[in-house]
Amino acid sequence: MADFIQGIKDSVYLNLIYEDRYLFLIKGFGMTLYLTFMTFLLGTLIGALFCKLRLSKNSTVSKTVIWLKTLFIRLPTLVLLIIFTYLIFADTSIDTVTLAIFAFAIKTGSYICDIMYSAIETVDKGEIEAGRTLGMSSFMVFRLVVLPQAIKNALPVYKNQLIITMQETSLVGFLAINDLTRASQVITSRTMDPYLSIVITAVAYLLIGAVSGLLFRLADREKHLCRADFINK
């Protein structure tokens, strides 16, 4: 037992304390958070734009968006990163982190486009027609009838997409970006002791997912409380 405890102490010292290696993990954790939330924010905007264009009455615009969305979804994320970094933007001065965020956002936006489109399509057409019959404009029908129901239908899958986005950012180590996964790999290459750094990395990813889920639940709870207060007034 004493040898086991001493082994853990030695592993902690070698992986975290010696040469301040814990700083690799802290910086990697920060980069992972930055990549995840910037990608998800931009991806949401791209997804909303794609969804808007997909709903266009112009069949050419709609079909073009469907084709592009399908292309981005079917391309492996790593291949998409390589295309953006080494082909499309190879001769530009854009930094690698920005390129990675944009590539991830295009992929994420394509998925979110499908999520939004499917949620909008689930809204009962009779309710839309009823809104128009009451004299509402197209914008008012969308804002008051379609959007609230679409958000409710899309939210569970939308939350899962955040977790998927976080997982995909672990590929940026291929571009020598020091995220959480690459930090773990760097420490392992120096210590030849992968166990502790891998466990810390896994726990960190689980923590990000858990906190993200909690924030979504709090936001949803706040929305319901605000709605209840409005109805009571």
Domain at 85, CATH number: 1.10.3720.10
Q: Which residue has the tokens 């004299």?
A: 135
Residue-number span of the structural domain to which 22 is assigned = 2-232
Distance of alpha carbon 129 from alpha carbon 202, whole angstroms? 50
- Taking the C-alpha atoms of residue 23 and residue 200, their distance in angstroms, rounded to an integer, is 13
| Mean pLDDT rounded to a whole number for the chain | 82
Residue ranges of the chain with pLDDT lower than 70? 1-4, 6-7, 219-233
CA–CA separation, 37 vs 90, rounded Å? Answer: 25
Q: Are 150 and 123 in contact (CB under 8 A)?
A: yes
Task: Say if CB 53 and CB 116 are below 8 A apart.
Answer: no
* Alpha-carbon gap, residue 220 to 198, rounded angstroms: 33
Length of the chain: 233
Q: How far apart are CA 94 and CA 108, in angstroms?
A: 20
Tokens 């808007």 belong to which residue?
52
Q: What is the pLDDT of residue 211?
A: 83
pLDDT tens digits, 2-52: 666 766 777 777 777 777 778 888 898 899 999 999 999 999 999 999 998
Of 139, 169, 137, give the one whose Cα is nearest residue 40.
Answer: 169
pLDDT for the residue 224: 53
Burial of 111 from C-beta contacts in 10 A (0-12 / 13-18 / 19+): buried
> What's the confidence (pLDDT) of residue 228?
47
Q: Distance between CA atoms of 162 and 81, rounded to whole angstroms?
A: 19
- The total number of structural domains in the chain stands at 1
- Helix runs in the chain, H state only: 2-12, 22-54, 59-74, 77-83, 96-121, 125-133, 138-141, 147-168, 180-191, 194-232
